[in-house]
Amino acid sequence: ADFTTIRAVGRVTLKPTGSGQAVVFDAGATVTLGWGVRMLGDFVIDGNAGTTDGLFVRAIHHSEFQARVRSAANGLLVNFSVCTEYAIRVTVNEDGWGTQRPTTGVILAKRAVGEGVADCQFDLVVEGVSGDGVTLHNLVGDSRFRGTSEGNGGVGLVLDGGANCQVNTFENFDVEANTGGDIVLNADNTIFSNLVATSLVHLV
């Protein structure tokens, strides 16, 4: 629902028992949009072998999400989001974590043509997933990224925005020690500031 706040008092663990997406904020596949949704505090989304996405957000704007995710194929999947803040940790390097490594840490993608991710802020920690750390598809523009993508089994950071990707900024973002290489860049007008990367896979 619009203008809804869910707040953790202390650490709150959300543990799904079925398969599919664990925690979903979804305003729909067409015109309907969600506004002012906030998930704040120390939320741990602890999936299982059948969990596809730990946190799924679609068509939610002017909102804020804070969570740590483990044991899900994808830690965070966002389809269409504007002016929203995400503070997300997907890591196996914390107490008791690593029973099932996520395949991908964070995926940003479009809902439909012209409906991607824009004007958002991301504070990400992605460490030790079995595949790519952070994968960005059709990132419309003007979003800012901070954090790390380290020690993952695939590529640390994949930017595949093509002509839709405009002036996104990575500031104080560490991309290191990823088995598949650190950065694959296929996006226009990307700004890097204080970036740490040990290798570039390719620039297109």
Give residue-wise pLDDT tens across range 20-56.
999 999 999 988 889 999 999 999 998 888 999 999 9
At 107-129, the pLDDT tens digits run 998 888 888 899 999 999 999 88
At residue 2, what are phi and psi to the nearest 5 degrees?
Answer: -70, 150
- The model's confidence at residue 96, banded by pLDDT at 50, 70 and 90, is low
Most confident of 88-102, 122-136, 178-192: 122-136
At position 45, the amino acid (one-letter code) is I
Which helix (H) or strand (E) segment is 50 a member of? none
pLDDT at position 202 over 70: no
The position carrying tokens 């995400």 is 86
The answer to whether the beta carbons of residues 164 and 142 sit under 8 Å apart is no
Q: How far apart are CA 20 and CA 68, in angstroms?
A: 18
The answer to whether the beta carbons of residues 181 and 199 sit under 8 Å apart is yes
Q: Residue 14's pLDDT is what?
A: 94
Q: Which residue, among 35, 16, 17, 15, has the nearest Cα to 25 in the 3D structure? A: 35
**What sections of 36-189 are H helices per DSSP?**
none
Q: Tokens for 202, please give them.
A: 């390719």
Question: pTM of the predicted model, to two decimals?
Answer: 0.91
Burial class (CB in 10 A: 0-12, 13-18, 19+), 95: exposed
The answer to whether the beta carbons of residues 82 and 50 sit under 8 Å apart is no
